[in-house]
Amino acid sequence: AMDFKLRAATKEDCKEISRMIKELAVFEEMSDQVKISHEDLERDGFCQNPFFECLVAEVPEERKSREGFTVVGYALYYYTYSTWKGPSAYLEDLYVMPEFRGKGIGRGLLCKVAEVIKKKGCVRLQLSVLDWNTSAQDFYISKGAQNLTVSEGWHAIRFEGQHLDNLAGEA
């Protein structure tokens, strides 16, 4: 197992988190979709009523990445509410840099998120996985996750841009 530590992200970590968000977007073949900067993360995650919480995985200096990074993974999540079950959380991103995968860091981040949200009274953790990312699906299912598309037929739906503006304009 690799020597790493997990901790709550600080405002100072936002440049590293932003870097990894871009790496994840490249992996997901959607790099053109990333529109936020580390300044946005600083504003939105470290304000009076933060929109998200984040954990980072850090390796010791002597284990740093080829490019010299010691923050090598992150889990970004936020609180939601289920009208059936109560307080819940949504895991927006779980990412570990490729050269650090398979060393327990992703599992560590996922378990730590579960511990944090359980302490806040959450009864479930939800997330989305791309249909082609079978290794991620297998990882979550091996930890006891249900694939709701398969078991319950849920589909992910989104409004954004002009369509969101149109909805708001009809209010």
Contacts of 5 (CB under 8 A, 6+ apart): 57, 58
What is the average pLDDT value for the chain, to the nearest integer? 96
34 three-state secondary structure? coil
pLDDT at residue 145 in the model? 96
Residue 32 is assigned to a structural domain of this protein = yes
> Which position among 74, 77, 95, 140 bears the catalytic label?
140
Q: Are 17 and 56 in contact (CB under 8 A)?
A: yes
State how far the Cα of 49 lies from the Cα of 103, in Å rounded to an integer. Answer: 34
Residue 170 is assigned to a structural domain of this protein = no
Residue 91 is assigned to a structural domain of this protein = yes
- Provide the pLDDT confidence category of residue 2 given band limits of 50, 70 and 90: confident
- Provide the pLDDT confidence category of residue 87 given band limits of 50, 70 and 90: very high
Residue 96 is assigned to a structural domain of this protein = yes
Rounded (10°) CA dihedral 43, 46, 47, 48: 170
How much is the average pLDDT of 130-156? 93
* Number of domains composing the chain: 1
For the segment 12-27, what is each residue's pLDDT rounded down to a tens digit? 999 999 999 999 999 9
CATH of the domain at 36: 3.40.630.30
Q: Are 114 and 75 in contact (CB under 8 A)?
A: no
Vertex 152 angle, CA 147 and 157, to 5°: 80
Q: Which runs of E-coded beta strand occur in the chain?
A: 5-8, 53-58, 71-82, 86-96, 124-127
Residue 51 is assigned to a structural domain of this protein = yes
How much is the average pLDDT of 145-159? 92
State how far the Cα of 51 lies from the Cα of 34, in Å rounded to an integer. Answer: 17
- Provide the pLDDT confidence category of residue 1 given band limits of 50, 70 and 90: low
For the segment 32-78, what is each residue's pLDDT rounded down to a tens digit? 999 999 999 999 999 999 999 999 999 999 999 999 999 999 999 99
How much is the average pLDDT of 90-108? 97
Closest Cα to residue 19, out of 67, 90, 63?
Answer: 67
Residue 133 is assigned to a structural domain of this protein = no
Residue 112 is assigned to a structural domain of this protein = yes
Query: How is residue 155 annotated by DSSP?
Result: -
Contacts of 110 (CB under 8 A, 6+ apart): 75, 91, 94, 140, 143
Its pTM stands at 0.94
Residue 150 is assigned to a structural domain of this protein = no
Quote the domain boundaries for residue 109.
5-127
Q: Is 79 a catalytic residue?
A: no
